Amino acid sequence: MSAAQTEAAGGTSRWPASLLAGVAIVLAWLLVAGLGPSFSPHDPIAVDLANALVPPGSDHVLGTDSFGRDILTRIVHGARIDLMMAFFGVVGPFLLGTMVGLVAGNFGGVADAVLMRILDVTVSFPYFVLVIAIVAVLEPGLTSYFVSLTLVNWVSYARLVRSEVLVLREADFVLAARLIGVGEVRVMSHHLLPNAITPAVVFVFTDAVLTIVLGSSLGFLGLGVQPPAAEWGVMIAEGQLYLATAWWICVFPGLAIATLAFGFSLIADGLAKQLHTAP
């Protein structure tokens, strides 16, 4: 058995293929977002009605939209916004949710009861309606979107972290730390958090996918990024009228969303494998 365990431990140093593939896809998009705009030959916003609805070809590789804007250029510029959305869309909920879960799980009692009732209330609203309502009340735009996600999405992280902490706080090593006289804050930050965070970190990448898709949907509804800014969801929204005559306006931004989302899913899947097989 011990021989098997050591060999299994040695085997985990290899990263799962899905993780590597996911990282490669996301890195590629990051590169595009970082460097692409300085190389793109066209202006993403300038209207050029003479060249409207040009199909994919030599001058416009992925064609142009109804305002004559180059689709490729807009996708490249949009990558910045969508990646930013993925990042800021999960950071807030992750931080808030982790804190809430840690505190609720560690202290239990009244703190736990109050925080979990707030969580229940949040969950009891229909998800999309709640996000859209908050964005609409604030003012349509990216900042409101991030605020709204933080107020709604923290619940998933809080639940994940709390359930881990509930088990860990009874673990012998946590009791041992308390017996040494380690204070509550340090117990939470050094003993509970590092061992409770794994599922939440894995969920970050799944959540990033949802955030991009939802952000694009809001763009589509006119509540997210405002036109004429290049954002993939907005682009699809603008192209929907031309779906039959100029399919490229919708399809290419759609592919962009799909590949980025796929990359994040692969990372989530690979991380889950990597972290769960690790001893």
Partner 1 sequence: MTAPILSVEDLAVTFATAAGPVAALQGVSFALQPGEVLGIVGESGSGKTVACRSVMRLLAANAQVRSGRILFEGRDMLALDEADLARIRGDRIAMIFQNPSTHLDPLMTAGGQVAEALRAHRGMGAREARRQAIDLLAEMRIPEPERRVDSYPHQLSGGMRQRVMIAAALACRPGVLLADEPTTALDVTVQAQILGLLKGLRAEHGLSIILVSHDLGVIAQMCDRVVVMKDGKVVETGPIADIIHRPRMDYTRQLIASQPALMLPAMPSNRVREPILAVRNLSVHYASSRGLSGLLTGQARHVVRAVDDVGFSLGQGETLGIVGESGSGKSTIARAIVGLAPVHAGEIDFAGRSVRRQDAAARLRFQRSVQMVFQDPFTSLNPSFTIARTLAEPLRRHRLCAPADIAARIAELMAKVELPDDLLSRRPSQLSGGQRQRVGIARALAVEPRLIIADEVTSALDVTIQAQILGLFKKLRDSMGLTIVLISHDLAVVRHLCERVVVMRHGRLVEHGVTAEVFAAPRDPYTQELLAAIPRIAIA
Beta bridge partners of 70: 64
CA–CA separation, 74 and 95 (whole Å): 32
- Residue 158 CB neighbour total at 10 angstroms: 27
Residue 59 or 184: the one with the smaller Cβ distance to partner 1 is: 184
CA 143 → CA 85, 125, 138, 147, distances in Å?
10, 22, 9, 6
d(CA 256, CA 100): 34
- Judged by beta carbon, residue 13 or residue 124, the one nearer partner 1 is 13
CB of 163 to partner 1, least distance (A): 17
Nearest distance in Å: CB 99, partner 1: 19
Closest to partner 1 by CB, 76 vs 271, is: 271
- Residue 100 Cβ vs partner 1, minimum distance, rounded to whole Å: 21
264, with CB counted inside 10 A (0-12, 13-18, 19+), is buried
Binding site for partner 1 (CB under 8 A): 1-4, 7-11, 171-182, 190-191, 194-195, 278-279
Q: What minimum distance in Å lies between the beta carbon of 176 and partner 1?
A: 6
Signed CA dihedral, 42, 44, 49, 53: sign only: positive
CB nearer partner 1, residue 126 or residue 194? 194
